């Protein structure tokens, strides 16, 4: 209470005294405006995206299996897939020896990025052109088929001797099949019924 107004919102009662806004009859406190840092990005525009918080618990068990196997397949592409010996020495080539395995490389990256985004945002921040399960079935299926072909088609041909498989080819083959299984098995069961 004061004999003079102390700013906006102060009001004068019938006794001639000035009172602060919160003492006015029927006063309702207004909520403070939202802070600039919580609703606006550095440009001052309201941010529309979610914040990234990686949590593997957002993956189902099948998704965990598929993402780990895809990561192993990706790593296997850089391991020795084929070995050969020549007189005094030996050598090897990696899984990218077959040019088409670069498609496997790209698909592995895309699958891993998709799963990381799903674990980080809870839902995909990207609008997919088809249902998630079908898209992953196609991607992991292509990886499996191309990896099987790369395994079977050794440099020099199928019956060519002197060229053998390196440990990377076995790891890659198993990983490609394991990565595709969590999406392929439910799709085949649904198709049968």
Token pair for 37: 């840092």
Looking at the domain assignment, is residue 23 inside a domain?
A: no
DSSP string, 170-187: HHHHHHHHHHHHHHHHHH
Q: What is the CATH number of the domain that holds 139?
A: 1.20.140
Q: Order the strands of the 80-86 sheet from edge to edge.
A: 89-94, 80-86, 163-165
* pLDDT score recorded for residue 85: 76
80 backbone dihedrals φ, ψ, rounded to 5°: -65, 120
61-76 vs 101-121: helix axis angle to the nearest 10? 140
Token pair for 31: 């909520």
CB 87 within 8 A of CB 186: no
Looking at the domain assignment, is residue 120 inside a domain?
A: yes
CB 53 within 8 A of CB 135: no
List average pLDDT for each run of 10 residues in the chain, which is 193 residues long: 72 76 69 49 46 80 91 94 81 88 95 88 76 88 94 73 85 95 81 75
Enumerate helices (H) and strands (E) in the chain, giving the number of each. 5, 5
Token pair for 192: 């049968």
* pLDDT score recorded for residue 146: 95
Per the structure, the count of domains in the chain is: 1
Looking at the domain assignment, is residue 105 inside a domain?
A: yes
Looking at the domain assignment, is residue 47 inside a domain?
A: no
Looking at the domain assignment, is residue 43 inside a domain?
A: no
Looking at the domain assignment, is residue 25 inside a domain?
A: no
Contacts of 18 (CB under 8 A, 6+ apart): 1, 2, 3, 4, 5, 6, 10, 11, 12
* pLDDT score recorded for residue 50: 65
Looking at the domain assignment, is residue 175 inside a domain?
A: yes
Looking at the domain assignment, is residue 151 inside a domain?
A: yes
Token pair for 141: 């299926």
Helices (H), 80-166: 101-121, 132-152
* pLDDT score recorded for residue 38: 44
Q: Print the domain residue range for 104.
A: 56-192
């Amino acid at each position: 209470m004061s004999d003079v107004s102390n700013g906006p919102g102060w009001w004068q009662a019938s006794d001639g005294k000035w009172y602060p806004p919160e003492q006015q009859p029927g006063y309702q406190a207004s909520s403070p405006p939202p802070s600039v840092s919580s609703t606006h990005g550095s440009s001052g525009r309201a941010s529309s995206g979610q914040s990234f918080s990686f949590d593997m618990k957002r993956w189902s068990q099948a998704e965990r299996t598929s993402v780990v196997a895809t990561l192993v397949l990706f790593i296997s592409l850089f391991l020795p897939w084929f070995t050969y010996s020549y007189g005094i020495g030996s050598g090897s080539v990696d899984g990218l020896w077959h040019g088409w395995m670069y498609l496997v490389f790209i698909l592995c990256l895309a699958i891993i990025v998709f799963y990381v985004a799903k674990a980080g945002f809870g839902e995909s921040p990207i609008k997919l052109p088809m249902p998630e399960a079908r898209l992953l079935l196609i991607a992991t299926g292509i990886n499996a088929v191309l990896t099987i072909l790369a395994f079977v088609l050794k440099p020099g041909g199928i019956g060519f001797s002197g060229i053998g498989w390196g440990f990377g080819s076995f790891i890659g083959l198993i990983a490609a099949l394991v990565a595709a299984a969590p999406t392929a098995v439910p799709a085949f069961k649904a198709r049968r019924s």
